[in-house]
Amino acid sequence: MIMPAKYTLVLRKDMRKGAAEDSKLYYANAKAAGTCGMYELCDLISLSSTASPGDVRLILDSLIEVMKRSLGKGEVVQVGELGNFQLQFGSTGTATKKEFNQALIKSKRIVFRPGKVLRDSISNYSFEKIPEPSDTTGGNEGGGGEDDRPVIE
């Protein structure tokens, strides 16, 4: 069972062309519903394979080591349908090539580009607004309403 992705509404500056200087609009803001840590991830992967959670952990740890080495060599690391990882960075500019040195390289980051299967999967997600405190009646007042907490089976 796939749970819907959670969001809240936030009031932000209206970025539309021609919008008044002080106008604001409500936008959806994704909210994490928790974390799937390494141990849980390994357990879940092992459930659909013949590998033990320890085997999965060993493979993922090795993947990280290989990725560090490959990214350091300037290679794009392709991980099948998961996607691609690539090192990117920016730098402070100089007026001439001679003035430039590697100490000017800043904002190093690893960019992830999801593969097609992963990209396409988001079209099947549903979304659910997280109620704000003002959206609820705020107490146990009896009203006989439905409990909106997720059912854990």
The full set of domain ranges for the chain reads 5-94+103-114
* CATH code of domain 5-94+103-114: 4.10.520.10
Per-residue pLDDT, 145: 43
Rounded CA gap, 76 and 85, in Å? 6
Whether this model's pTM surpasses 0.95 = no
Residue with tokens 């080495």: 69
Per-residue pLDDT, 129: 92
Per-residue pLDDT, 149: 46
Rounded CA gap, 87 and 81, in Å? 19
Low-confidence stretches of the chain (pLDDT < 50) are 138-149, 151, 153
Tens-digit pLDDT profile for residues 19-49? 999 999 999 999 988 899 999 999 999 999 9
Per-residue pLDDT, 136: 54
